[in-house]
Amino acid sequence: MSDGQGKKFENSEAEVIETPTNGSKPAAAEEKAAPASHARRGTGPRTRLGKERSKRNAIKHGILSELAVLKNESRAEYDSKLWGFRDYYRPVGMMEKELVMTIANAKWHSQRGIRALNAETEASSELFLEWDEQHRQLQEAGRLSSVSSHGGLIRKIENSEVLETCLSRLRVLKIGIETNGFNRDKDRSILTQLYGQLNEDHWQNDIFWAYHVWAGTASLPDAMRTQQKFPSPKECVDHFLSELRQEIARLHVYGVTRAEVEHRRREVELRRRSVPDTPRLDRLLRHLAYWDRVADRATRELERLQRMRLGQPVAPRIDVNVSSS
Protein backbone atom coordinates (compact mmCIF):
# COMPACT_ATOMS: atom_id res chain seq x y z
CA MET A 1 0.00 0.00 0.00
CA SER A 2 1.37 3.44 -0.98
CA ASP A 3 1.69 6.39 1.34
CA GLY A 4 -1.13 8.11 -0.44
CA GLN A 5 -3.39 5.17 -0.04
CA GLY A 6 -2.45 4.95 3.61
CA LYS A 7 -3.26 8.58 4.18
CA LYS A 8 -6.50 8.17 2.27
CA PHE A 9 -7.49 5.21 4.48
CA GLU A 10 -6.64 7.11 7.65
CA ASN A 11 -8.60 10.12 6.51
CA SER A 12 -11.63 8.06 5.60
CA GLU A 13 -11.44 6.22 8.93
CA ALA A 14 -11.24 9.51 10.80
CA GLU A 15 -14.26 10.74 8.87
CA VAL A 16 -16.27 7.70 9.91
CA ILE A 17 -15.40 8.24 13.54
CA GLU A 18 -16.09 11.95 13.50
CA THR A 19 -19.32 11.81 11.45
CA PRO A 20 -21.28 8.61 12.18
CA THR A 21 -24.16 7.83 9.84
CA ASN A 22 -26.86 7.85 12.59
CA GLY A 23 -25.91 11.33 13.75
CA SER A 24 -25.20 10.32 17.42
CA LYS A 25 -21.95 10.81 19.25
CA PRO A 26 -19.43 7.99 19.00
CA ALA A 27 -18.78 5.73 22.00
CA ALA A 28 -15.31 7.15 22.53
CA ALA A 29 -16.72 10.65 22.58
CA GLU A 30 -19.40 9.67 25.08
CA GLU A 31 -16.80 8.28 27.46
CA LYS A 32 -14.79 11.49 27.23
CA ALA A 33 -17.90 13.63 27.75
CA ALA A 34 -19.15 11.67 30.80
CA PRO A 35 -18.42 13.39 34.14
CA ALA A 36 -15.70 11.99 36.36
CA SER A 37 -18.23 11.04 39.08
CA HIS A 38 -20.09 8.81 36.62
CA ALA A 39 -16.83 7.06 35.77
CA ARG A 40 -16.42 6.11 39.42
CA ARG A 41 -19.89 4.59 39.74
CA GLY A 42 -20.22 0.83 40.24
CA THR A 43 -16.52 0.15 40.53
CA GLY A 44 -16.89 -1.27 44.07
CA PRO A 45 -14.27 -1.17 46.81
CA ARG A 46 -10.68 -0.97 45.65
CA THR A 47 -8.71 -1.58 48.85
CA ARG A 48 -8.19 -5.01 50.36
CA LEU A 49 -10.02 -4.00 53.55
CA GLY A 50 -12.97 -2.65 51.59
CA LYS A 51 -13.24 -5.80 49.54
CA GLU A 52 -13.07 -7.94 52.71
CA ARG A 53 -15.95 -5.97 54.23
CA SER A 54 -18.13 -5.85 51.14
CA LYS A 55 -17.94 -9.57 50.44
CA ARG A 56 -19.91 -10.18 53.64
CA ASN A 57 -22.90 -8.03 52.75
CA ALA A 58 -24.87 -10.71 50.94
CA ILE A 59 -24.97 -13.03 53.95
CA LYS A 60 -24.73 -10.48 56.75
CA HIS A 61 -28.08 -9.02 55.74
CA GLY A 62 -29.67 -12.27 54.62
CA ILE A 63 -32.93 -13.64 55.97
CA LEU A 64 -31.23 -16.32 58.09
CA SER A 65 -29.16 -13.67 59.83
CA GLU A 66 -32.29 -11.65 60.57
CA LEU A 67 -34.05 -14.69 62.05
CA ALA A 68 -31.09 -15.91 64.07
CA VAL A 69 -30.29 -12.74 66.02
CA LEU A 70 -32.85 -11.60 68.58
CA LYS A 71 -33.25 -7.99 69.69
CA ASN A 72 -31.44 -8.58 72.97
CA GLU A 73 -28.49 -10.34 71.29
CA SER A 74 -25.33 -8.93 69.74
CA ARG A 75 -25.25 -8.87 65.94
CA ALA A 76 -21.52 -8.20 66.08
CA GLU A 77 -21.04 -11.43 68.06
CA TYR A 78 -23.18 -13.31 65.54
CA ASP A 79 -21.21 -11.88 62.61
CA SER A 80 -17.96 -12.83 64.32
CA LYS A 81 -19.13 -16.40 64.73
CA LEU A 82 -20.41 -16.62 61.16
CA TRP A 83 -17.22 -15.31 59.61
CA GLY A 84 -15.13 -17.42 61.90
CA PHE A 85 -16.77 -20.49 60.35
CA ARG A 86 -16.38 -19.04 56.84
CA ASP A 87 -12.68 -18.41 57.42
CA TYR A 88 -12.27 -21.94 58.74
CA TYR A 89 -14.17 -23.83 56.02
CA ARG A 90 -13.50 -21.36 53.15
CA PRO A 91 -16.63 -22.40 51.20
CA VAL A 92 -16.80 -22.18 47.41
CA GLY A 93 -20.14 -21.81 45.71
CA MET A 94 -23.60 -21.08 47.01
CA MET A 95 -24.27 -24.56 48.41
CA GLU A 96 -21.14 -24.60 50.57
CA LYS A 97 -21.82 -21.07 51.77
CA GLU A 98 -25.38 -21.99 52.74
CA LEU A 99 -24.12 -25.00 54.70
CA VAL A 100 -21.60 -22.83 56.53
CA MET A 101 -24.39 -20.44 57.48
CA THR A 102 -26.50 -23.38 58.68
CA ILE A 103 -23.63 -24.52 60.91
CA ALA A 104 -23.14 -21.01 62.30
CA ASN A 105 -26.87 -20.60 63.00
CA ALA A 106 -27.08 -23.98 64.69
CA LYS A 107 -24.13 -23.16 66.93
CA TRP A 108 -25.68 -19.77 67.68
CA HIS A 109 -28.94 -21.41 68.77
CA SER A 110 -27.01 -23.92 70.88
CA GLN A 111 -25.16 -21.06 72.55
CA ARG A 112 -28.51 -19.41 73.29
CA GLY A 113 -29.74 -22.64 74.87
CA ILE A 114 -26.65 -22.83 77.09
CA ARG A 115 -27.25 -19.24 78.20
CA ALA A 116 -30.86 -20.13 79.02
CA LEU A 117 -29.71 -23.16 81.01
CA ASN A 118 -27.28 -20.98 82.95
CA ALA A 119 -30.05 -18.47 83.61
CA GLU A 120 -32.33 -21.21 84.94
CA THR A 121 -29.56 -22.34 87.30
CA GLU A 122 -28.78 -18.78 88.36
CA ALA A 123 -32.45 -18.16 89.11
CA SER A 124 -32.16 -20.82 91.82
CA SER A 125 -28.91 -19.44 93.20
CA GLU A 126 -28.25 -18.77 96.87
CA LEU A 127 -28.83 -15.03 96.44
CA PHE A 128 -32.38 -15.51 95.15
CA LEU A 129 -33.09 -18.36 97.56
CA GLU A 130 -32.08 -16.24 100.55
CA TRP A 131 -33.99 -13.24 99.23
CA ASP A 132 -37.17 -15.29 98.75
CA GLU A 133 -36.90 -16.67 102.28
CA GLN A 134 -36.38 -13.23 103.81
CA HIS A 135 -39.31 -11.85 101.84
CA ARG A 136 -41.54 -14.71 103.00
CA GLN A 137 -40.54 -14.21 106.62
CA LEU A 138 -41.17 -10.46 106.47
CA GLN A 139 -44.63 -11.02 105.01
CA GLU A 140 -45.44 -13.63 107.63
CA ALA A 141 -44.18 -11.38 110.43
CA GLY A 142 -46.42 -8.59 109.16
CA ARG A 143 -49.47 -10.84 109.17
CA LEU A 144 -48.72 -12.25 112.60
CA SER A 145 -48.37 -8.83 114.21
CA SER A 146 -52.04 -8.15 113.58
CA VAL A 147 -53.18 -11.43 115.15
CA SER A 148 -50.53 -11.83 117.82
CA SER A 149 -53.06 -11.92 120.64
CA HIS A 150 -54.43 -15.20 119.25
CA GLY A 151 -51.65 -17.50 120.41
CA GLY A 152 -48.79 -15.01 120.55
CA LEU A 153 -45.77 -14.36 118.36
CA ILE A 154 -43.64 -16.75 120.39
CA ARG A 155 -45.35 -19.67 118.63
CA LYS A 156 -43.83 -18.54 115.31
CA ILE A 157 -40.21 -17.97 116.33
CA GLU A 158 -39.00 -20.28 113.56
CA ASN A 159 -39.42 -17.12 111.50
CA SER A 160 -36.24 -15.12 112.14
CA GLU A 161 -38.08 -11.81 111.80
CA VAL A 162 -40.64 -12.86 114.42
CA LEU A 163 -37.88 -14.12 116.71
CA GLU A 164 -36.06 -10.79 116.51
CA THR A 165 -39.32 -8.98 117.30
CA CYS A 166 -39.85 -11.16 120.38
CA LEU A 167 -36.31 -10.56 121.64
CA SER A 168 -36.60 -6.82 121.06
CA ARG A 169 -39.84 -6.53 123.03
CA LEU A 170 -38.60 -8.71 125.87
CA ARG A 171 -35.58 -6.41 126.18
CA VAL A 172 -37.93 -3.42 126.35
CA LEU A 173 -39.91 -5.20 129.06
CA LYS A 174 -36.72 -5.96 130.99
CA ILE A 175 -35.47 -2.36 130.90
CA GLY A 176 -38.88 -1.05 132.00
CA ILE A 177 -39.09 -3.38 134.99
CA GLU A 178 -35.47 -2.74 135.97
CA THR A 179 -36.18 0.99 135.94
CA ASN A 180 -39.71 1.31 137.34
CA GLY A 181 -40.68 -2.11 138.67
CA PHE A 182 -43.89 -3.83 137.59
CA ASN A 183 -46.32 -1.83 135.45
CA ARG A 184 -49.16 -4.29 135.04
CA ASP A 185 -51.02 -2.61 132.17
CA LYS A 186 -47.94 -1.91 130.07
CA ASP A 187 -46.17 -5.18 130.89
CA ARG A 188 -49.25 -7.34 130.24
CA SER A 189 -49.76 -5.66 126.85
CA ILE A 190 -46.25 -6.70 125.75
CA LEU A 191 -46.57 -10.21 127.19
CA THR A 192 -50.01 -10.75 125.63
CA GLN A 193 -48.63 -9.81 122.22
CA LEU A 194 -45.78 -12.27 122.66
CA TYR A 195 -47.46 -15.16 124.51
CA GLY A 196 -51.17 -14.73 123.89
CA GLN A 197 -54.00 -14.25 126.39
CA LEU A 198 -53.24 -15.60 129.85
CA ASN A 199 -56.74 -17.01 130.27
CA GLU A 200 -56.38 -19.25 127.21
CA ASP A 201 -54.94 -22.74 127.19
CA HIS A 202 -51.78 -21.22 128.49
CA TRP A 203 -48.41 -22.74 129.25
CA GLN A 204 -47.83 -22.91 133.00
CA ASN A 205 -44.09 -22.46 132.70
CA ASP A 206 -43.72 -19.61 130.27
CA ILE A 207 -42.57 -16.12 131.13
CA PHE A 208 -46.10 -14.70 131.11
CA TRP A 209 -47.17 -17.12 133.81
CA ALA A 210 -44.05 -16.22 135.81
CA TYR A 211 -44.95 -12.55 135.52
CA HIS A 212 -48.48 -13.30 136.71
CA VAL A 213 -47.11 -15.05 139.81
CA TRP A 214 -44.40 -12.54 140.76
CA ALA A 215 -46.35 -9.38 139.95
CA GLY A 216 -49.34 -10.76 141.86
CA THR A 217 -47.18 -11.55 144.89
CA ALA A 218 -45.61 -8.10 144.81
CA SER A 219 -49.06 -6.49 144.88
CA LEU A 220 -50.17 -8.31 148.05
CA PRO A 221 -50.59 -6.30 151.23
CA ASP A 222 -47.47 -6.15 153.42
CA ALA A 223 -49.20 -7.91 156.31
CA MET A 224 -50.18 -10.89 154.16
CA ARG A 225 -46.70 -11.17 152.67
CA THR A 226 -45.17 -11.07 156.13
CA GLN A 227 -47.61 -13.61 157.52
CA GLN A 228 -47.13 -15.98 154.57
CA LYS A 229 -43.40 -15.25 154.37
CA PHE A 230 -43.68 -14.19 150.73
CA PRO A 231 -40.83 -12.29 149.07
CA SER A 232 -40.83 -8.52 149.20
CA PRO A 233 -41.86 -6.49 146.07
CA LYS A 234 -38.19 -5.89 145.25
CA GLU A 235 -37.39 -9.58 145.63
CA CYS A 236 -40.36 -10.41 143.38
CA VAL A 237 -38.97 -8.06 140.75
CA ASP A 238 -35.50 -9.63 141.02
CA HIS A 239 -36.91 -13.17 140.73
CA PHE A 240 -38.91 -12.27 137.64
CA LEU A 241 -35.97 -10.42 136.03
CA SER A 242 -33.84 -13.53 136.56
CA GLU A 243 -36.39 -15.66 134.72
CA LEU A 244 -36.77 -13.00 132.04
CA ARG A 245 -33.00 -12.98 131.41
CA GLN A 246 -33.08 -16.76 131.08
CA GLU A 247 -35.93 -16.47 128.56
CA ILE A 248 -34.00 -13.92 126.51
CA ALA A 249 -30.88 -16.12 126.61
CA ARG A 250 -32.95 -19.16 125.56
CA LEU A 251 -34.43 -17.37 122.57
CA HIS A 252 -31.00 -16.05 121.59
CA VAL A 253 -29.49 -19.55 121.64
CA TYR A 254 -32.47 -20.83 119.70
CA GLY A 255 -31.91 -18.13 117.09
CA VAL A 256 -28.21 -18.96 116.68
CA THR A 257 -28.90 -22.70 116.43
CA ARG A 258 -31.71 -22.20 113.95
CA ALA A 259 -29.55 -19.93 111.82
CA GLU A 260 -26.93 -22.68 111.58
CA VAL A 261 -29.61 -25.22 110.66
CA GLU A 262 -31.09 -22.86 108.06
CA HIS A 263 -27.64 -22.28 106.57
CA ARG A 264 -27.15 -26.01 106.12
CA ARG A 265 -30.66 -26.33 104.74
CA ARG A 266 -29.97 -23.59 102.19
CA GLU A 267 -26.80 -25.36 101.10
CA VAL A 268 -28.74 -28.57 100.53
CA GLU A 269 -31.53 -26.70 98.74
CA LEU A 270 -29.01 -24.85 96.61
CA ARG A 271 -27.40 -28.10 95.49
CA ARG A 272 -30.83 -29.49 94.75
CA ARG A 273 -31.79 -26.43 92.71
CA SER A 274 -28.51 -26.37 90.79
CA VAL A 275 -30.36 -28.34 88.11
CA PRO A 276 -33.57 -26.76 86.76
CA ASP A 277 -36.95 -28.41 87.23
CA THR A 278 -37.50 -31.44 85.02
CA PRO A 279 -39.93 -29.86 82.48
CA ARG A 280 -37.64 -26.89 81.87
CA LEU A 281 -34.52 -29.03 81.82
CA ASP A 282 -36.08 -31.43 79.31
CA ARG A 283 -37.10 -28.55 77.06
CA LEU A 284 -33.62 -27.01 77.14
CA LEU A 285 -31.90 -30.33 76.53
CA ARG A 286 -34.16 -31.02 73.55
CA HIS A 287 -33.31 -27.57 72.20
CA LEU A 288 -29.58 -28.22 72.53
CA ALA A 289 -29.82 -31.73 71.06
CA TYR A 290 -31.81 -30.52 68.04
CA TRP A 291 -29.34 -27.80 67.06
CA ASP A 292 -26.39 -30.10 67.66
CA ARG A 293 -27.92 -32.54 65.17
CA VAL A 294 -28.48 -29.72 62.67
CA ALA A 295 -24.85 -28.60 62.98
CA ASP A 296 -23.59 -32.18 62.70
CA ARG A 297 -25.60 -32.93 59.54
CA ALA A 298 -24.56 -29.67 57.89
CA THR A 299 -20.90 -30.27 58.78
CA ARG A 300 -20.93 -33.76 57.27
CA GLU A 301 -22.62 -32.52 54.09
CA LEU A 302 -20.20 -29.62 53.75
CA GLU A 303 -17.15 -31.83 54.18
CA ARG A 304 -18.61 -34.25 51.63
CA LEU A 305 -19.12 -31.48 49.05
CA GLN A 306 -15.65 -30.09 49.60
CA ARG A 307 -14.04 -33.51 49.17
CA MET A 308 -15.98 -34.01 45.94
CA ARG A 309 -14.91 -30.57 44.69
CA LEU A 310 -11.26 -31.35 45.46
CA GLY A 311 -11.44 -34.74 43.77
CA GLN A 312 -10.94 -36.67 47.00
CA PRO A 313 -12.64 -40.00 47.72
CA VAL A 314 -16.07 -39.67 49.30
CA ALA A 315 -17.69 -42.35 51.44
CA PRO A 316 -21.18 -43.34 50.31
CA ARG A 317 -23.99 -41.59 52.14
CA ILE A 318 -25.81 -43.72 54.69
CA ASP A 319 -29.38 -42.75 55.58
CA VAL A 320 -30.77 -44.33 58.75
CA ASN A 321 -34.46 -43.90 59.55
CA VAL A 322 -35.44 -44.76 63.11
CA SER A 323 -39.08 -45.39 63.89
CA SER A 324 -40.61 -45.96 67.30
CA SER A 325 -43.57 -47.85 65.85
pLDDT for 134 beyond 70? no
Burial degree of 147 (CB within 10 A; 0-12, 13-18, 19+): exposed
The Cα 162–Cα 150 span in angstroms is: 15
Instruction: Tell me if residue 273 falls in helix, strand or coil.
Output: helix
What is the CB-side half-sphere exposure of residue 277 using CA atoms within 13 A? 4
Q: Domain range holding 77?
A: 56-124+277-309
Q: Are residues 139 and 193 in the same domain?
A: yes
Name the domain count of the chain.
Answer: 2
Dihedrals phi, psi of 232, to nearest 5 degrees: -70, 165
- Based on DSSP, count helices (H) and strands (E) in the chain, helices before strands: 15, 0
List Cβ<8 Å contacts ≥24 apart for 280-286: 280/120, 281/117, 281/120, 284/113, 284/116, 284/117, 284/120
Q: Are residues 238 and 106 in the same domain?
A: no
The per-residue pLDDT for range 232-285, each reduced to its tens digit, is: 999 999 999 999 999 999 999 988 888 887 777 777 666 666 566 677 778 888
- Residue 4 domain-assigned? no
Q: Are residues 254 and 165 in the same domain?
A: yes
297 touches 142 (CB < 8 A): no
Predicted pLDDT of residue 13: 42
- Residue 42 domain-assigned? no
Q: Are residues 111 and 162 in the same domain?
A: no
The Cα 249–Cα 254 span in angstroms is: 9
The per-residue pLDDT for range 62-119, each reduced to its tens digit, is: 444 556 788 878 889 999 999 999 999 999 999 999 999 999 999 999 988 888 877 7
Q: Are residues 145 and 245 in the same domain?
A: yes
Q: Are residues 136 and 260 in the same domain?
A: yes
